Amino acid sequence: MSGLFALLLASKGLAQGAVLLTPAAPAGILALRYSVVKIFSGILSWWGFWRKPMKLSPSAANLGLFHKQPDEVRAAHYQGMVFESSRAAAEIAFWFLDVHKSTKVESQPDSPIMILVGQDNRITPADICHKIACRFNANFQLLTSHAHELHSEPDWEKIAEQADIWINLEVCRNSSSSEQNE
């Protein structure tokens, strides 16, 4: 959800640039896929789920979040999970029912954006992230052998390095040129 939040902030001119790790889809992009419904099925089956904090079951978390993690760290990662807002999840998944249009990006961001997504991401599938990148003219990086938890999967350091290089090339360059124009 944090990638979507960063995109919403960038669209309001509140960012010089943004690196979005596996962002959730904004309004207008249908993100419901079989894998997403399967992962959230336990939560979606509660009436009024959008009014209660949510936390995936261990099996759903392993299916959707941790399947590229080594087996020996999965339990520890699950223990580190906290409850999240079911309302926010419902506003993302069912944006067409949200009268407040909470996930609608009002304007095209004027800062550079990079989207990183794992090829094996089941919870925010790569094709969804590619649609987001196309809609907002973002640099798109599909990472093989990765899934959703890019920041903690094996070789996360290489992903962080890619993001750092992009920030230095795109964001810092744009900042320098806008300062020279002033």
Query: What integer pLDDT is reported at residue 175 of this predicted model?
Result: 64
- In this structure, the chain runs to a length of 182
Name which of 109, 145, 115 is nearest 128 in CA terms. 115
Write the DSSP assignment of 21-81 as a string of letters.
ESPPPPTTS----HHHHHHHHHHHTSTTGGGSEE---HHHHHHHTSTTS-HHHHHHHHHT-
SS (H, E, C) 94-152: CHHHCCCCCCCCCCCCCCCEEEEEECCCCCCCHHHHHHHHHHCCCEEEEECCCCCCCCC
How far is CA 159 from each of CA 49, 121, 179, rounded to the nearest angstrom? 34, 15, 29
- The whole-angstrom separation of Cα 41 and Cα 34 is 10
Query: What integer pLDDT is reported at residue 171 of this predicted model?
Result: 82
Name which of 108, 164, 111 is nearest 136 in CA terms. 108
- The whole-angstrom separation of Cα 135 and Cα 132 is 5
Output the six-digit token pair for 159. Answer: 């992903």
Mean pLDDT by 10 residues, the chain (182 residues): 94 95 96 94 92 96 95 94 95 95 95 97 97 97 96 94 94 67 58
| Chain centre to alpha carbon of residue 81 | 16
- The whole-angstrom separation of Cα 61 and Cα 68 is 11
**What sign does the CA torsion over 143, 84, 93, 106 have?**
negative
* Domains located in the chain, CATH noted: 2-181 (3.40.50.1820)
Query: What integer pLDDT is reported at residue 8 of this predicted model?
Result: 97
Residue with tokens 């759903």: 60
What pTM value is reported for the model?
0.90
